[in-house]
Amino acid sequence: MDTIRSWLARREKESVYHRLLKELSLEDHATMKNWIRLDKDQYHKLLQLVTPLIAKDTRRRKAVTAGERLTLTLRYLATGESHASLGCQFRISHNLISSIIPSVCRAIYQVLKQQFLRFPTNQSEWQEVANDYFTQWNFPMCIGALDGKRVLISKPPRSGSEYYDYKGHFTLIVMALVDANCNFMYVDVGASGRASDSGVWDRCGLKDALEKARLNIPPVASLPFSNRQCPCHCW
């Protein structure tokens, strides 16, 4: 036990954050971007944004810094490495890693959602989306392209065939709505792989809001160069 404690205690001198990342940020920006999928400026900007939400302090021991927390999480998101592997690299216990990653992901979402996941809230904003689809893709009255994507996962313990899909893989389903520039406007994550795209859509909050007319989408209007009336819709 003493050996384990001393190994972890050398985190501030020997971990990849305190050694490798600092070297890469000074000497090799291309490798740094490949390692955490962000360039130096992007990394420091994101760190500045999330630090108020993830920084911890304690009088009993030296807290894992916001930089360590963010870097560990970015590495996990980039590679899907196991907590055991990340623990060896960052010299952080597995138990702490299991709480760091979800909390940092929540913080990233909070600070970036308004910029990168903007859902239209009024008719004017929806009309902008429709105008872009018509201008760029010659697709009138379209307020979003909707599709599902299956993401491979390791089978969760005691899940049986819940996540087993028709292709023979264990997956989660991501349902997303994008604008004409492929920017995400809405994302629904977490349906099990055994479900179909249509089944996920039937239970999706976006479909319910559309059917109950809660989205403030533009009213029925004439198609371009025609008198035919058509509603705006997701496709």
Residue at 133 is within a domain: yes
Output the pLDDT for position 61: 62
Reduced to 3 states, what is the DSSP secondary structure of residue 118? Answer: coil
Our count of domains for the chain comes to 2
pLDDT tens-digit map of 42-69:
999 999 999 999 998 766 567 899 999 9
60 & 129 share domain: no
- Looking at residue 53, its pLDDT comes to 97
pLDDT value at position 1? Answer: 45
Q: Is the same domain home to 121 and 225? A: yes
Average pLDDT on 182-196 reads 92
- Among 21-25, 47-51, 72-76, the minimum mean pLDDT is found in 21-25
User: Do 121 and 16 have their domain in common?
Assistant: no
> With bands split at pLDDT 50, 70 and 90, how would you rate the model's confidence at 187?
very high
Residue type at position 223: L
Q: What is the rounded average pLDDT for all residues in the chain? A: 91
Asked whether the CA dihedral 159, 160, 165, 169 is positive or negative, the reply is positive
99 and 130 part of one domain: no
Looking at 114, 148, 183, the residue that finishes a domain is: 114
Cα(155)–Cα(6) distance, integer angstroms: 34
Of 19, 72, 63, 64, the residue nearest 43 (C-alpha): 72
The answer to the question of residue 22 being in a domain is: yes
Pair (6, 91) in one structural domain: yes
Residue range 9-18: average pLDDT?
86
Alpha-helix runs per DSSP H in the chain: 2-9, 11-14, 22-27, 29-36, 40-54, 66-79, 83-90, 94-116, 123-137, 197-202, 205-211
3-state secondary structure at position 170? strand
The whole-number average pLDDT for the span 167-196 is 93
Instruction: Report the pLDDT value the prediction gives residue 9, as an integer from 0 to 100.
Output: 77
Give the mean model confidence (pLDDT) for residues 90-113: 95
> Where a domain ends, among 87, 114, 141?
114
143 located within any domain: yes
Q: Is residue 12 part of a domain?
A: yes
Kindly report, residue by residue over 132-174, the tens digit of the pLDDT: 999 999 999 999 999 999 999 989 889 999 999 999 999 999 9
Residues 18 and 32 grouped into a single domain: yes
137 and 78 share one domain: no
Q: What is the pLDDT of residue 58?
A: 65
* 235 inside domain: no
Supply the pLDDT for residue 104. 98
The phi and psi torsions of 233 (rounded to 5 degrees) equal: -155, 160
Check whether residue 106 and residue 33 sit in a common domain: yes
**Segment among 42-51, 105-114, 193-202 with least mean pLDDT:** 193-202
The domain in which residue 195 lies consists of 117-230
Last residue of a domain, one of 114, 136, 163: 114
Claim to verify: residue 7 and residue 106 sit in the same structural domain? yes
Q: What does the alpha-carbon distance between residue 39 and residue 41 come to, in Å, rounded to a whole number?
A: 6
**74 plus 179 within the same structural domain:** no
Are 71 and 169 within one domain? Answer: no
Do 108 and 133 belong to one domain? no
